[in-house]
Homo-oligomer: A and B are copies of this chain.
Amino acid sequence: MIVIADNLRVTLPAIGRAVERLDPEPIRQMVHACIVAGAQAIDINSGPLSRAPEEKMTFLVRTVQETVDLPIVLDTASPRAIAAGLAVGRRKAMINGVSLEPERLKRILPLARQYDCDIIGYLLGPDGHVPADAPGRMEVAVALFNEIQIAGISPDRIVIDPVVAPLAWQDGNRQNMAVREVLRTLPELLGFPVRTIAGLSNLTTGAPNPEKRRRYQAAFLPMLVCAGVDMVLLNVLDPALMRVARSSQRIVDRTVFSWH
């Protein structure tokens, strides 16, 4: 399992200000902290970037790349920002992401094709909503898989995100049961070892304090790991959560375990 840091996000005031001022130092500091914590890739969550998307994403990608040679993920709804990020990427970035929403299909898929890069596919219907149950999500996955192929993108470029639901949603637990089922059975359904990804922080949206957030994320992460998820986006600056990630991985590894 690949652990992707979800810590670099413009919604953090220090990062938001740094992006506005094109000040690389706070970005570098955050990326440094993520490397030390064990991140294996960095998600650049720039938000929608309504003003100057190209300039800001170029700045972000360059700053991250100057700091570390890890894979990067371009996490924005702005096709212009994605295009700019891909253009300056030293190595292939991953696009985060596409869904069946027509506008996204039309504007983002051609970029994935042009740059031959990985792209995250969210299991959201054309209306932007996620089907509540596993069969509904499977249908969306199949449709998304078809769109990808129609767009001339190699099927092994897609990474499916079954969309972790907040616990606090009325049917959150049921949806997360569907998430685990999709992770476990999708490769067989598609007849193809399709990669999967999940965003852990979503689970605890609305949590009243960091302790509760940590506690539920720490219990949900092993469930994702044993369901076979290939990549997880998480808060790598939580050492307890990183220990859970490592222990869970070692429990499901096919290599021989050793205590030492």
Interface string of A237-260 (1 = CB under 8 A from B): 000000110011011111111111
Asked whether A251 and B176 contact (CB < 8 A) given A206-B259, A208-B259, A259-B206, the answer is yes
Closest to A174 in B: B254
Comparing A67-75, A96-104, A165-173, A188-196, the segment that makes contact with chain B is A165-173
Task: Provide the bound-state CA to CA distance between A220 and B221, in Å.
Answer: 10
Let me know if B219 and A260 touch, CB within 8 A. no
Task: Provide the bound-state CA to CA distance between A253 and B229, in Å.
Answer: 22
Task: Provide the bound-state CA to CA distance between A168 and B259, in Å.
Answer: 7
29 contacts between A and B (CB under 8 A): A167-B250, A167-B251, A167-B257, A167-B259, A168-B257, A170-B256, A173-B252, A173-B253, A173-B255, A174-B254, A176-B251, A180-B226, A207-B259, A215-B243, A216-B247, A216-B250, A218-B218, A218-B244, A218-B247, A219-B222, A219-B225, A219-B244, A219-B251, A220-B222, A222-B223, A223-B225, A223-B226, A223-B248, A226-B226
- The chain A residues found within 8 Å of chain B, CB to CB, are 167-168, 170, 172-174, 176-177, 180, 206-208, 212, 215-216, 218-223, 225-227, 243-244, 247-248, 250-260
